[in-house]
Structure 1
Amino acid sequence: MITRHFIDVVKDASTRRIHYRKTGSGPPLLMVHQSPRSSKEYEALMEKWSAHFTCIAPDTPGFGQSDPLAGHPEINEYADAIIEFLDAIGIEKCAAYGFHSGGIILVTAVKRHPNRVTTLAVGGYAIWSKEEMALFSEKYLPEFHPSAYGEHLTWLWNRILEQTWFFPWFATDNEHRLSVAHDDPQRVDAVVREMLDAGNAYQAGYGAVLSAPRDIPAADAKVPPCLISAYNGDPLQEHIDRLGEMPKSWSAQKVSTPEDHQAVSLAHLLEADRSARPRLNEAQDEGFVQIETDHFAGLIHWQGSWDADELILHAPASAIGSPVPRGSIAIDLPGHGLSDDWSGDPPSTWDEWQAVVDQAAQKLETESVVFADLPKGDAGRLYPDLSPDRYGNYLTKAWQIVRAAAVFEPWYSADKGHAKAFDPKVLLPEQLAKQHLDLLNARAAKHYHLALETRQGSIHGN
């Protein structure tokens, strides 16, 4: 099972929080994701390799749930950040794997800190020409900020979708067409959500990778072994021919499929010095607890203080607020925020939700539960279906809901009789963006609302 954790890197009197995933047993394997993704993209691969390694995948700075680096960082700072992460969790040396930009970060880390990595496997390594670099610098990384009426969401959907049709995404001509094109809403949605998490921080992290020097270590460099491979359809496969002379312990090969790439990478990694499984550190004021009831088995995200007496529950379609009041712990309920979803249809009666809350309260050692106010309105209308569709309409639909909810209650009754007093600041795009992402992540909102109604009914009935 994959578990999730937070750890803090303290440097120069500042603290930077990092989120990471972990699973498996055996020696540690550091896995660095591509931009603009997060460690979530490695979940399936982590499950595959967990029989051989303790797989550890952090969200790189500014992506997923990790804090960004300050200022205008370059590739060396992202490479050093990976080493700082290893320091924080207590790993002196380990094998490493990275795909695309994750590989570029790791190659830079190996050049700067060769004694911290035993061996390295990379999926595709970019060696851009001057012309390609000029093309990327012009259009590839526009700023990404929320806009008042959700226009940024239309751009985002199409940018992520068409990145599988053309590379780069804006070069819409036959020369730049890809053989791996698709229009799968679920696959596009996975990347869209990670871009929404990152916001404009994606520009710094992705930009540092794109502008990084593409110098392979010299043939006589004292660096750990490395295998670079790329499969058919990967736009970086042709870059295998651009690598030039490499250290004797480095090699590169073209393979047919993603599965072939994973197989040769694993075989290479298994040749490394296999040290003992580490004891990993994690943050003490945020994390995840494993919950198992008759109807739910998964991770529940919590934030707050371990000496808290009260457990705070959010409203339907919401998530943990920030900051959590001192002396309290808050959780994201199943199907909300960063917590796992129900394995089947979410329950619409309170007893099954109560079982999750009771177990969370026991594990977090709290004594009382604080409920948020139940939103007014009909659950069937408050929380319409927001499943990803082929055209990305669900994104703008959710944006219009949170915008309307700022000025009407319930949001679907936009008339004088349902107008509510509001501070104009709640309509700032930056404010709406958090609620928008909470709503998209609230897969069980309607059922939670219905369950709370049954709870209220039982209380009033007694």
Structure 2
Amino acid sequence: MAPLQSIIRLPDGLHVRLQVLGQGPAVILCHESPRSSSALLVLAMRLQHRFSCIMLDTPGFGLSDPLPMSRPEVPDFAGVVLNVIKALGLGRVPVYGTHTGAAIAVEAALQAPDQVSTAILDGYAIFTEVERDQFLVSYLHPFRPAMDGSLAAWLWSRVRDQFTAFPWNQVGDGSKLGFGPPPLSAMQKVVEDLLLAGDAYRAGYSAAFRYDHFAPLAKLLCPVYIVTREDDLLFAHMERARGSGDKVNLFALSPDRDIWGDTIGRLITDHAGPETLSAQKIIIRAEKHSGARRIVNTTVGPVVIRIDGEGDTVVLLHDVPGDMADLDHLTNRLRRSHRVVRVNLPGFGLSPLAKDAPVSMASIVRGVDESLVAAGATNAPVIACGASLPVAMQLAGDPQITALDPWPQVVQGASEHLPDLAPRWDGSHLMAAFWWARDYEIYKPWYNRVNTELRSIGNERDTDRIHLRFQAIVMAGETGIRLTRLLYETDVACALAGAAHRLRVLVTDGDPDSAALVAWATPHIDADRITPVPRPPEQLAPVLADLLS
């Protein structure tokens, strides 16, 4: 069973993602750096029949906002956990944490013994002063998107080295690990989480390195359990905690995952609260604190949406490759006059398809339809960018549709040029993703790398925009490629005549396919509903605002 998800908006405005799985007394689970709550699913699946597991994305990781201060410390992260417990009305609950999450769990128990019944620490670092200083100086490489693809190469090298040695940046006989590495699929998940965090990953890590892990253990009023497997890179640190406090209990475990799960489950049981909660009930509580960013738990998987502004509603669907971050510039202008609902298409970017959902156009359409119902945007006018036009034309009702540069409709064979994103040991799948993102910004279509086919790109290339598209491609992965193929191969020409009364086509002025798009639309749509528009978002947004008004 897949977890339900929500993004809760705390009183200070911070958005925090929750993943909730199971039924029973609640337990809070906090992940390690540089991961997200998805790293906790392995444990949650073992506990789901006894507990309601609430997995949090630490601020700055996953889909949670980073903390606003320039140098957050562990007590700041712990305060967020306590605010979530309070917002969900959980009372006093066990808090589990692994690695960085373990430090957060200790600090949460220290700050609020009335909210934390026990702290269960799965791998707890106790660094010497020398170790701490070395980590702070050399461990946290800056996360720098670049036009040359060097970030993609660094990402893969960084993650591979993490599973080769500890510390990862000191690969040698004295630091090599005696276990691993994990399968390629597991390494790819770490890459995805590191991509989501971006340079904010350094804030969580550095806070943990600066934290005095030893001293707080003696001050805790609730029981503390340090549970560490032999194949945990912090296994040797457990002995450093011996004698640290009367409430501290040490459990050295074998690598056996069954023993590990059973031990943690028993410790949670000993300190669990009296209230039995389902995942659905917790999500209902979380949704009472919704903000601009939301997650809709559709029948095809969690779909991320964002709602900005006030006024008449307009829906924005992004192009592929990409995700709803592509629409930031347009949204910032349109929100002045409209309530803008952005939907991250199911199966792309931040909206993964459920494992049992068919990889089909029907799944994409169903997920968008259900998300629009949840957002109160059914039958609102839709701006469908690029490859999303076939989705817009199949939505429930008969919404007015503005097709913004529906370029796949005049391209033959684009799906034959899609990259292979299956993870490979040499990391070439990440380079393929990067060059797809970069070439998309320059050539049209991206694989026609001829300078006469250059897009209208202005005088500067936007490194951040290319990076966000690269991130969306990596997050969508192989499923995204299969769905992209379906979008590229769906010809809507036969439906144009029947939809002419509700369809407007905007053609990017100066692009190599502009004449072809006009010719494609003209037989079915009145000429006054085919409009040339500029490509730069800051110029395009006012044109769209005028058309909507």
Structure-1-length-normalised TM-score? 0.90
Q: 2:296 aligns with which of 289, 292, 310?
A: 289
| Counterpart selection for 2:320 from 306, 316, 319 | 316
State the SS of the aligned residue for 1:52: coil
| Alpha-carbon shift at residue 333 of structure 1 (Å) | 2.0
The one-letter amino acid of 1:81's match is V
Matches within 5 A, 1:39-58: 39-58=37-56
Write the distance in 2 (CA, Å) between the matches of 1:342 and 1:82.
27
Deviation at 1:338, TM superposition (A): 1.5
Q: 1:375 maps to what in 2?
A: 407
Q: Give the conservation status (yes or no) of the 8 Å contact 2:321–2:437.
A: no
Shift of 1:434: 0.6
SS class of match (1:30) = strand
2:457 is the alignment partner of 1:422: yes
The one of 278, 290, 304 equivalent to 1:301 is 304
RMSD (Å), alpha carbons: 2.5
Check 1:458–1:444 CA distance in 2 against 1; reply closer, same or farther (3 A cut): farther
Higher relative helix content: 2
2:204 maps to 1:201: no
The 5 Å alignment of 1:122-133 reads 122-133=121-132
For residues 145-156 of structure 1, the aligned pairs below 5 Å read: 145-156=144-155
- Residue 174 of structure 1 aligns to a residue whose secondary structure is coil
Cα drift, residue 249 of structure 1 = 3.3
**Counterpart Cα distance in 1 of 2:185 and 2:427:** 10
One-letter code aligned to 1:327? R
Tell me the residue number matched to 2:160: 161
Q: Kindly tell me the number of residue pairs found equivalent between the two proteins.
A: 452
- Counterpart mapping for 1:132-147 below 5 A: 132-147=131-146
Partner in structure 2 of residue 439 of structure 1 = 473
- What are the Cα deviations for residues 52-104 of structure 1, in whole angstroms up to 9, with x where unaligned? 22211111111111111121112222222222232333333211111111101
Q: Which residue of 1 aligns with 2:5?
A: 4
Match among 230, 233, 248 for residue 232 of structure 1? 230
> 1:256 and 1:27, CA in 2 relative to 1: closer, same or farther beyond 3 A?
same
Q: Which SS does the other structure have where 1:367 is aligned?
A: coil
Q: Which stretch shows the higher mean deviation, 94-103 or 300-309?
A: 300-309
Q: Kindly indicate whether the alpha-carbon contact (under 8 Å) linking 2:61 and 2:196 is maintained by their aligned counterparts in 1.
A: yes
Q: Shift of residue 284 of structure 1?
A: 4.4
AA at the equivalent of 2:33: S
Task: Measure how far apart 1:313 and its partner are.
Answer: 2.4
Secondary structure of the 2:81 match is helix
Superimposed CA distance per residue, residues 156-178 of structure 1 (whole angstroms, 9 cap, x where no aligned partner): 21111111111001222212111
> In 2 relative to 1, CA 2–113 (structure 1 residues): closer, same or farther, beyond 3 Å?
same
Q: What is the CA–CA distance in structure 2 between the aligned matches of 1:179 and 1:4, rounded to whole Å?
A: 36
Q: 1:447 to 1:243 in 2, by over 3 A?
A: closer
- The range that moved more, 299-308 or 261-270, is 299-308
Q: How has the CA–CA distance of structure 1 residues 243 and 183 changed in structure 2, closer, same or farther, with 3 Å as cutoff?
A: closer
Match of 1:458 in 2: 494
| CA separation of 1:452 and 1:391: change in aligned 2, threshold 3 A | closer
How far residue 309 of structure 1 moved from its aligned partner, in angstroms, is 4.5
Residue aligned with 2:131, SS: helix
Tell me if structure 2 keeps the 8 A contact 1:216–1:243: no
Identical amino acids, percent of aligned pairs:
25
Residue segments in structure 2 that go unaligned for 5+ positions in a row: 387-405, 499-549
Match for 1:336 among 336, 348, 354? 348
Partner of 1:434, secondary structure, is: helix
1:352 and 1:339 map into 2 onto residues whose CA distance is: 12
CA contact under 8 A between 1:353 and 1:451: conserved in structure 2?
no
C-alpha deviation, 1:449, in angstroms: 5.1
One-letter amino acid of the counterpart of residue 303, structure 1: R
* Preserved CA contact (<8 Å) 1:168 1:176: yes
Alignment-mate amino acid for residue 91 of structure 2 = E
Residue 115 (structure 1) shift: 2.0
| 8 Å CA contact 1:147, 1:429 repeated in 2 | yes
Residue by residue over 1:127-161, the C-alpha shift from the partner in whole angstroms, topping out at 9 and shown as x without a partner, is: 11233223323311121111221112212211111
Q: Distance in 2 between matches of 1:436 and 1:214?
A: 37
CA distance in 1, matches of 2:459, 2:91: 51
Counterpart of 1:158, as a letter, is: S
**2:55 counterpart SS class:** strand
Shift of 1:459: 0.5
- In structure 2, the CA distance between the partners of 1:351 and 1:67, relative to structure 1 (3 Å rule), is closer
Larger radius of gyration: 2
Determine the C-alpha separation between the residues in 1 that align with 2:473 and 2:200.
21
Judge which range, 325-334 or 113-122, deviates more.
Answer: 325-334
Note if contact 1:183-1:390 (Cα within 8 Å) is conserved in structure 2.
no
Which blocks of at least 5 consecutive residues in structure 1 are unaligned?
none
Cα distance change of structure 1 residues 437 and 215 upon mapping to structure 2, 3 Å threshold: same
Is contact 1:309-1:367 (8 Å) kept?
A: no
Contact 2:26 2:272 in 1 (8 A): no
Residue aligning to 1:211: 210
Q: Report the counterpart of residue 440 of structure 2 in structure 1.
A: 405
C-alpha distance 453-124 of structure 1, shift in aligned 2 (>3 A): closer
- 1:187-198 residue pairs with structure 2 within 5 A? 187-198=186-197
Distance 1:385 1:178, change over 3 A: same
Counterpart amino acid of residue 153 in structure 2: T
